[in-house]
């Protein structure tokens, strides 16, 4: 049932994502879960349908919708009960790409956001460390500028979406 408290655009989005989940994810996700991977082609389809750029600016190919749109995406993906697909998509849309959208300069956004929104590039979160887990206050890795280069020291594990990088 569509929620009467959401704007019509959110109800349309819900119906589109629900249909995508039922036709593209549910018939295939059991095998993906067993394999421990989400096919890149699925993410590209999601991008082509606009699901990966819901809250990003239109000038980069996004829909410029609000956080309720991201909530609709999360709810409908979660209905499938396939956590691998849900986590892969939501890390990309809600955790990793917003950093570029919110803090990137104009050149960086122009260079990367169109491909991120279309699903050609998938963003990742690289926080988890052996001694700190995912506690960002406890991470030890550091990047120090050395002339025109960066020297990165540290150790990371469980890089969510790293296989798509």
pLDDT tens string 97-146: 999 999 999 999 999 999 999 999 999 998 899 988 888 899 999 999 99
For the beta carbon of residue 155, count every other beta carbon within 10 angstroms: 12
- The band of 1, judged by pLDDT with boundaries at 50, 70 and 90, is very low
CB-based contacts of 77: which residues, under 8 Å, 6+ apart?
17, 21, 25, 85, 86, 89, 90
pTM, two decimal places: 0.87
pLDDT, mean of residues 74-80: 95
Residue 5: its pLDDT value, please?
A: 58
Residue 8: its pLDDT value, please?
A: 87
The Cα–Cα gap between 158 and 128 comes to: 6
Question: How many degrees, rounded to 5, is the angle at CA 93 between CA 111 and CA 104?
Answer: 35
Residue 7: its pLDDT value, please?
A: 81
Which tokens belong to 60? Answer: 């980069």
């Amino acid at each position: 049932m569509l929620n009467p408290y959401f704007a019509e655009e959110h109800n349309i989005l819900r119906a589109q994502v629900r249909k995508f989940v039922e036709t593209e994810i549910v018939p295939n996700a059991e095998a993906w879960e067993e394999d421990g991977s989400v096919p890149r082609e699925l993410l590209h389809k999601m991008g082509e349908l606009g699901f990966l750029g819901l809250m990003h600016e239109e000038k980069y190919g996004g829909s410029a919708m609000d956080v309720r749109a991201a909530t609709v995406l999360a709810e409908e993906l979660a209905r499938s009960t396939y956590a691998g697909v849900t986590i892969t998509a939501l890390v990309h849309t809600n955790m990793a790409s917003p950093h570029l959208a919110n803090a990137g300069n104009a050149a960086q956004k122009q260079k990367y956001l169109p491909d991120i929104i279309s699903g050609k590039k998938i963003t990742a979160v690289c926080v988890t460390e052996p001694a700190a887990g995912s506690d960002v206050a406890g991470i030890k890795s550091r990047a120090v500028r050395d002339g025109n280069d960066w020297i990165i020291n540290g150790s990371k594990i469980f890089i969510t979406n790293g296989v798509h990088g």
